[in-house]
Structure 1
């Protein structure tokens, strides 16, 4: 991985942490801006860098750094009621990586939107399953409290993320790679 890619991944991890800090409690699952960043990453950086960024973010949180929503960290968050959404982020980015591949610039229209959809569906699925298991609730209760209230806002955030991701990608492609071999 080049210095430029390491730097981009570092910025992506920071964006994920900052987007988690913008948090509004709405029941068991908080409203954050992470969906926006998760939709942006594969379009702006390509698949491998997006997956790497989310994996590093989860490792930092698991190590106890307060990068998750509510300035939380530690393995308890990943094992708790909302931890499935965090695991779903990684699964979703891996699926998005399969859709966009390494050439994020090729993530045109349908591929970019499909990648964002993968992130949402994987996060919702993993989050709902873990919420059901940890809280001992049924599918209707889990979906009603942790997914349905978020669908419309998440679609808006994903659309903003895809649009911003394309702009970031164009900006990155315009930067000359002076002295980098």
Structure 2
């Protein structure tokens, strides 16, 4: 990894941390701008660096730095009711990279980034929903009602905008 790559990854970690603090409490799962930044990452960083960036963000929070929503940090945040979404960011970024590699090279950057971001979000929803179900002892319908349904439209808007910004930033950086 060269210095530019490390600087971009560091900036993305900082943006993830900052975007987590732009939040509206909304039941057990807060509404944040992290989805916007997560949608930018596949456009701005290569697949490997994108995954490592999200891993770095989650690890910083796990060791206690207040980078998660509401200035929370610590391992407890990862095993709490919304921790599955955080784990899902990592697994989702891996899935986004797999999709990106599988897509034909002729697909333009924006649809490619948008598809990758949508897969990332879907994986995060699945991981978050499963952990919320286990933590709160609720059924699938209950978890989807409080952790996914209210966020679908705002998250879709954040994905569309984040992917567009990410592609624009990547174009300027190249």
TM category (shorter chain) comes to over 0.9
- Please list, as runs of the form range in 1=range in 2, the aligned pairs for 1:102-113 lying within 5 A after superposition: 108-113=109-114
Q: Distance in 2 between matches of 1:112 and 1:15?
A: 18
Contact 1:43 1:100 in 2 (8 A): no
Contact 2:110 2:164 in 1 (8 A): no
The residue aligned with 2:55 is 55
The residue aligned with 2:127 is 126
Q: Would you say 1:150 and 2:151 are equivalent positions?
A: yes
Contact 2:81 2:136 in 1 (8 A): yes
The residue aligned with 1:135 is 136
Contact 2:86 2:124 in 1 (8 A): yes
Deviation of residue 46 (structure 1)? 2.1
Where do 5+ consecutive residues of structure 2 fail to align? Answer: none
After superposition, give the CA deviation of every residue in 1:91-139 in whole Å (9 maximum; x if it has no partner).
11111112234xx9x7624322210111110010000000000111111
Contact 2:20 2:70 in 1 (8 A): yes
Contact 2:41 2:50 in 1 (8 A): yes
Q: How many residues align?
A: 170
The residue aligned with 2:89 is 89
Q: Distance in 2 between matches of 1:9 and 1:38?
A: 12
Where do 5+ consecutive residues of structure 1 fail to align? Answer: 174-181
After superposition, give the CA deviation of every residue in 1:23-73 in whole Å (9 maximum; x if it has no partner).
110001000000000011011212111111100000000000000000000
The residue aligned with 1:45 is 45
The residue aligned with 2:171 is 170
List 4+ stretches of structure 1 deviating above 4 A: none
After superposition, give the CA deviation of every residue in 1:63-90 in whole Å (9 maximum; x if it has no partner).
0000000000000000000000000001
The residue aligned with 2:26 is 26
